[in-house]
């Protein structure tokens, strides 16, 4: 690797080459003149298609299918540095790598996402049952291990659990519950499985319209709901989740969603909040601490879902904000509205489609065209499920290739059935 510790020309550094980082580094390379050096940093060369983690445990995806080369999706003219980050010192405009080397930058974009922290709940990562009877599905290793556990499972109490918000892709645990219901039904042992969804929120669906439209979905699938559960610890001897109020939830197999925080290096940096997320202006994505630093995706403290769709829609605003500031000194003026949409697997070959932003909860209606659809919002359909499956091709073929995506970045009210 060249010595990047001192700049000779102009340089922008992007930390993280996952969904958000890859989209942005490609946009930056395309928009910036050659005199700008564009550097991408990631600790490895394995770009995971994270929605696939949902399909690995239930045998629908082979594990190898979700792993691609990061480099393969970076445009020519991007310098890729494969190294772990030790810390960012914005006061010096430098990123320090764990190798001891430093990278000096003019502008920095943080796109290093979130990580699960099973070590922050007593009896989770440090318990004897971890990866034996207590699993997660937010990592490659976790989803593969869970696949084996489900294969061997013959019946008993299965608990799908969320520790506390925020979590990456907040509906994923619910989707997994529906897919597991299908999975055991196909194995013809559903009647031997007692499936419970455990959440710290007051319901599986916490937004009013969604809750009204979808509230009976769990009942339909004979999935029990345990709302308002705040976990204190996991009792590995009795195989129970223990709440702060002393209530206990027994399990034979627990699929938990651990607490999420930003990456370790953020805690060692002079930027980032107590949970390791980067505070940014929720419309411009500019750091509230350093004007030449931006952040995107799960790594931020944006008051919306940690989801790829948020990264994708916000990237179209962020690129204008960054390039305007970098080339013309223009203050960021493009405003992201918090738009997200996602397909939610509801099992039985169907999915739901959600579309929302900072101010508007998921509503019923059609998408992307008013009255025409063809997708149905907040209702189950086979077409939505096909959309979810087809998204994998769109992800690798369009989004990660810097090809124009046809969907508008701002949320559209047309097509939605408006209600307060």
Q: Contact positions toward other proteins, by CB under 8 A? A: 163-166, 170-171, 200-202, 205-208, 210, 214, 228, 230, 232, 244-245, 259, 273-275, 282, 301, 303-305, 307, 340, 342, 344, 354, 356, 358, 362, 420
**64 or 216: CB nearest other proteins:** 216
**228 or 270: CB nearest other proteins:** 228
Q: Which two tokens stand for residue 121?
A: 């709940």
The strand pairing partners of 343, in sequence order, are 353
**27 or 221: CB nearest other proteins:** 221
Shortest distance, CB of residue 399 to other proteins, whole angstroms? 20
Shortest distance, CB of residue 233 to other proteins, whole angstroms? 11
Tell me how far apart the alpha carbons of residues 251 and 195 are, in angstroms, rounded to a whole number. Answer: 9
**166 or 365: CB nearest other proteins:** 166
Shortest distance, CB of residue 245 to other proteins, whole angstroms? 6
**Distance, C-alpha 180 to centroid of its chain:** 20
Q: Which residues contact 344 (CB under 8 A, 6 or more apart)?
A: 171, 174, 175, 351, 352, 353, 354
**202 or 270: CB nearest other proteins:** 202
Contact 108, 119 (CB under 8 A): no
Shortest distance, CB of residue 318 to other proteins, whole angstroms? 18
What is the side-by-side order of every strand in the sheet holding 156-162?
A: 134-135, 253-257, 156-162, 193-198, 224-226
**237 or 274: CB nearest other proteins:** 274
Tell me how far apart the alpha carbons of residues 309 and 387 are, in angstroms, rounded to a whole number. Answer: 14
- Tokens 């931020």 belong to which residue? 300
CA distances from 297 to 17, 93, 150, 180, 328 (A): 12, 21, 31, 28, 25
Radius of gyration of the chain (CA): 22
**45 or 301: CB nearest other proteins:** 301
Shortest distance, CB of residue 273 to other proteins, whole angstroms? 7
Shortest distance, CB of residue 207 to other proteins, whole angstroms? 6
- Phi/psi at 298 (5° precision): -60, -20
Tell me how far apart the alpha carbons of residues 164 and 243 are, in angstroms, rounded to a whole number. Answer: 12
Query: Quick check: bond before 319 cis, omega within 30?
Result: no
**214 or 285: CB nearest other proteins:** 214
CA distances from 204 to 107, 180, 364 (A): 41, 16, 18
Shortest distance, CB of residue 214 to other proteins, whole angstroms? 8
**106 or 164: CB nearest other proteins:** 164
**45 or 361: CB nearest other proteins:** 361
Shortest distance, CB of residue 166 to other proteins, whole angstroms? 8
Shortest distance, CB of residue 260 to other proteins, whole angstroms? 10
Shortest distance, CB of residue 212 to other proteins, whole angstroms? 10
């Amino acid at each position: 690797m060249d010595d990047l510790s001192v700049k000779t020309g102009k340089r922008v550094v992007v930390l993280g080459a996952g969904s958000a980082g890859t989209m942005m580094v490609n946009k930056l390379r395309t928009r910036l003149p050659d005199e700008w050096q564009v550097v991408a940093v990631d600790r490895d060369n394995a770009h995971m298609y994270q929605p696939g983690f949902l399909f690995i445990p239930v045998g629908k995806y082979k594990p190898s299918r979700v792993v691609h080369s990061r480099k393969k999706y970076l445009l020519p003219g991007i310098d890729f540095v494969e190294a772990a980050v030790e810390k960012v010192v914005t006061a010096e405009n430098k990123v320090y790598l764990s190798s001891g080397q430093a990278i000096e930058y003019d502008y920095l974009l943080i796109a290093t996402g979130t990580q699960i922290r099973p070590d922050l709940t007593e009896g989770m990562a440090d318990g004897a049952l971890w990866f034996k009877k207590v699993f997660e599905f937010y990592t490659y290793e976790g989803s593969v291990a869970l696949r084996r556990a489900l294969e061997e499972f013959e019946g008993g109490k299965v608990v799908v659990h969320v520790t506390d918000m925020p979590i990456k892709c907040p509906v994923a645990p619910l989707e997994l519950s529906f897919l597991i219901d299908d999975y055991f039904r196909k194995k013809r042992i559903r009647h031997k499985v007692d499936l419970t969804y455990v959440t710290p929120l007051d319901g599986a669906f916490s937004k009013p319209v969604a809750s009204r439209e979808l509230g009976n979905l769990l009942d339909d699938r004979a999935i029990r709901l345990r709302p308002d559960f705040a976990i204190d610890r996991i009792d590995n001897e009795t195989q129970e989740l223990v709440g702060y109020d002393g209530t206990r939830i027994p399990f034979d197999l627990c699929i938990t969603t651990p607490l999420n925080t930003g990456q370790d290096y953020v805690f060692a940096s002079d930027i980032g909040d107590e949970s390791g997320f980067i505070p940014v202006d929720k419309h411009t994505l500019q750091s509230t601490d350093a004007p030449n630093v931006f952040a995107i995706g799960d790594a931020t403290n944006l008051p919306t879902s940690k989801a790829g769709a948020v990264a994708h829609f916000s990237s179209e605003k962020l690129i204008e904000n960054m390039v305007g500031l970098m080339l013309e000194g223009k203050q960021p003026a493009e405003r992201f509205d918090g738009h997200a949409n996602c397909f939610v697997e509801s099992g039985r070959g169907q999915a739901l489609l959600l579309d929302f932003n900072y101010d508007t909860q998921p509503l019923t209606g059609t998408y992307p065209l008013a009255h025409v659809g063809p997708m149905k919002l907040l209702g189950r359909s086979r077409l939505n499920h096909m959309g979810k499956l087809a998204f994998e091709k769109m992800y690798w073929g369009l989004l990660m290739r810097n090809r124009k995506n046809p969907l508008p970045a701002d949320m559209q009210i047309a097509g939605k059935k408006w209600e307060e």
